[in-house]
Amino acid sequence: MTRIKRAAGISHRKRGTGRRAGWIIILTGALLVLGIDHGDPFATHHPATAGTFARPRSQAQAQAQARVPPDGFTAAAAAAVAHLQTKYSGAYTATHLWQAASALSATIGFMQASGSRAYLSDLTNTYLAHHYAGNFLDHYYDDEGWWVLTWVKAYQLTGRKAYLAEAKLIFADMARGWNPVCGGGIPWRKNRPYKNAITNEEFLGAAILLHDLTPGDTYYSGWALQEWQWFSSTGMLTRHHLVIDGLRQCKPKLHSPTWTYNQGMLIGDLVGLSRLTGQNSLLKTAEQIAHAVMHSPRLSPGGILQEPCTPLVSCGRDRPMFKGIFMQNLRLLYARVPRPAYQAYLRNNAIAVWTWDRSGDVYGVSWSGPFEAPSMTAQSSALDLFTTQIDPARRGP
């Protein structure tokens, strides 16, 4: 399936890359996908910052070069979100696509962790720009899911009931999409049969969060239990404890990519579902997924998270966002099951990004380096990661 939307310099998920003759055409096509020279404010040349190391050639060299930001990760996150605002805050009101939702969510996450309230106007302006026009209801249920999760976070930050009402309104539209094809589930797109992991993971997570915020609720908890009963029977969570992309003819596409956000979203969902049901076995499943990602030579070579795609060729501008989503959910698991391995993985990735995937306060697609392909999604992903290193109790490095 292929889908591209462009608004405010943002492209939607582009699945697959056609063959092109010659390396010049390949490079040109990749640059076009990334928006370079097509109005992307991030697509300017960013010379390597003085002191930023080249990609290490060995693990020993990596350990020797790895550095913590001199002013701590709270300051690094503050600089990253400031740069995100400078370049892309207008995208929140210009478009209602999922990248804007996730970037706004990353900004909210920074404010939650740091205590800053510098960007509350982004929430107000985005809500006013799209609420009355009904723009948060989309042809794609996965886009809607990101907005539900974002407005829940906005409500948790501000207590504004309008944001919670918006989340519930969008959730209701998603619930209307549930159908009996493949035994249940929410399709990726309205009026299309294809069902994938991320849309249903979003729906599950949203149901759990809305249950938590609705006293005496049985409606949202019922949807959460129904979704998990269906999802767990589809085979999208494989025997290798990794989540694949979706279903084909109601059977799991076993050779489809194991995108990191699919792993992360289900980890977070299972943490919440364990709390809702009291079933600790769900935490064990979440830990199995986390272990599979952290020890995968494909997803975590050298202990640094990456997508199963090739930067500048097949990662596009959606997939750089995925890693930050994984890390946010791993942080939720760590809060519930405080294993040192999770803390170390989060920390090592944050250090790697700051050391090898940075030019000033701008971040690229490859966390292990070299710095390349900066974008809204890559910047938001780095922000999500840095936010995991902020201790709200200390509000420091």
- Using one digit for the tens of pLDDT, what is the confidence trace for 354-392? 999 999 999 999 999 999 989 999 999 999 999 999 986
Residue 337 banded pLDDT, cuts 50, 70, 90: very high
For residues 103 and 174, what is the distance between their CA atoms, to the nearest angstrom? 21
- Secondary structure element (H or E) that encloses residue 327, with its range: helix 322-336
Residues in the chain: 397
Provide the residue type at 258 as one letter. Answer: T
- Give the burial string for 124-137 (b: 16+ CB within 10 Å, else e): eebbeebbeeeebb
**In this predicted model, what pLDDT tens digit does every residue of 108-153 receive, in sequence order?**
999 999 999 999 999 999 999 999 888 899 899 999 999 999 999 9
Domains in the chain, CATH or no CATH each: 71-387 (1.50.10.20)
Q: What is the pLDDT of residue 20?
A: 33
CA distances from residue 130 to 9, 152, 334 in whole angstroms, order as listed: 18, 16, 35
Distance between terminal CA atoms of the chain? 43
Q: Write down the pTM of the prediction.
A: 0.85
Q: What is the pLDDT of residue 36?
A: 28
DSSP state of 54: P
CB atoms within 10 A of CB 77: 27
Top-ranked range on mean pLDDT: pick from 26-40, 91-105, 234-248: 234-248
Q: What angle do CA 355, 101, 357 make, to 5 degrees?
A: 10
Q: Would you say 78 and 396 are in contact if contact means Cβ atoms under 8 Å apart?
A: no
For residues 386 and 182, what is the distance between their CA atoms, to the nearest angstrom? 39
How many Cα atoms occupy the beta-carbon half-sphere of 218 within 13 Å?
0
- Give the burial string for 93-114 (b: 16+ CB within 10 Å, else e): bbbbbbbbbbbbbbbbbbbebb
Q: Would you say 334 and 344 are in contact if contact means Cβ atoms under 8 Å apart?
A: no
The set of residues, in sequence order, having a beta carbon less than 8 Å from that of 326 and lying 6+ positions away, is 260, 261, 263, 264, 267, 293, 305
- Kindly tell me if the per-residue pLDDT of 46 is higher than 60: no
